[in-house]
Amino acid sequence: MSNMNENKKQEVIITGFGGQGIVLAGRILGMAAALWDRKESTLVQSYGPESRGGACCAQVIISDEVIRYPYVKTADVLVCMSQSAYEKYKGQLKAEGYLLTDKDLVTPNEERDFFSIPSTRMAEELGRAMMANIIMLGFVTAVTALISEKAAKEAVASSVPKGTEEMNLKAFAKGYDYGLSKLKGREKKSLGNTGAA
């Protein structure tokens, strides 16, 4: 997998079902990139026929240059928070792209490297199932480095309902730390493998 920071333009699809805060996660990602990381970003959102429980998708493009077309053609990053969303959008992910999933809700059925986090379960443990999207956003930030941690935190704090900022930042930190530990684990594994050769 290539380092996200090397590419001038990143195309991201965040998807799941209505009620999971998919569009909010996309909005926070785009805001963080535009307002705090000083990049260009666009957000296109779509819902299934019924919003809660139906398919939901946020397409975010982050670029160092002007974005001329706001729709994602092939995703560099695909974030899936439901199995049906994964089935629907997996074909749009580049071969070398990042696939990130909710561990308990998505089982990838292809030979592809991917990262997963039990974001919904972690949110329930925090007492707020509705914060699974913020935990996932922290995870995405750590694994892909699409946006800086500082920008992401600023965007989370200014996007969530007043009075819930601290709780949401705690959720973000949980996802971010989980992502860092996943990366560290992979690094150790690859060092171990090369050492054994």
Class of domain 4-196: alpha beta
pLDDT bracket for residue 168 (50, 70, 90): very high
For the chain, what are the domain ranges? 4-196
Within the chain, residue ranges assigned H as helices are 22-31, 83-89, 119-125, 132-144, 149-159, 165-196
Question: Residue 46 has what pLDDT?
Answer: 83
Nearby residues of 118 by Cβ (< 8 Å), 6 or more positions away: 102, 103, 104
Nearby residues of 87 by Cβ (< 8 Å), 6 or more positions away: none
How far apart are alpha carbons 155 and 35 in whole angstroms? 8
Give pLDDT tens digits for 22-41.
999 999 999 999 999 999 99
Nearby residues of 49 by Cβ (< 8 Å), 6 or more positions away: none
Is the pTM of the predicted complex or chain greater than 0.75?
Answer: yes
Question: Residue 59 has what pLDDT?
Answer: 97
pLDDT bracket for residue 196 (50, 70, 90): very low
Task: Summarize the confidence of residues 95-122 as an average pLDDT.
Answer: 95
Question: Residue 6 has what pLDDT?
Answer: 57
pLDDT at residue 143 tops 80: yes
Q: What is the residue whose two structure tokens read 């996007």?
A: 159
Task: Summarize the confidence of residues 57-61 as an average pLDDT.
Answer: 97
Q: What is the mean pLDDT of the chain?
A: 91
Task: Summarize the confidence of residues 96-118 as an average pLDDT.
Answer: 95
Give pLDDT tens digits for 74-93.
999 999 999 999 999 999 99
Task: Summarize the confidence of residues 131-150 as an average pLDDT.
Answer: 97
Task: Summarize the confidence of residues 47-55 as an average pLDDT.
Answer: 63
pLDDT at residue 192 tops 80: no
Q: What is the DSSP track for 8-61?
A: SEEEEEEEEETTS-HHHHHHHHHHIIIIIS--EEEEEEEE-SSSTTSEEEEEEE
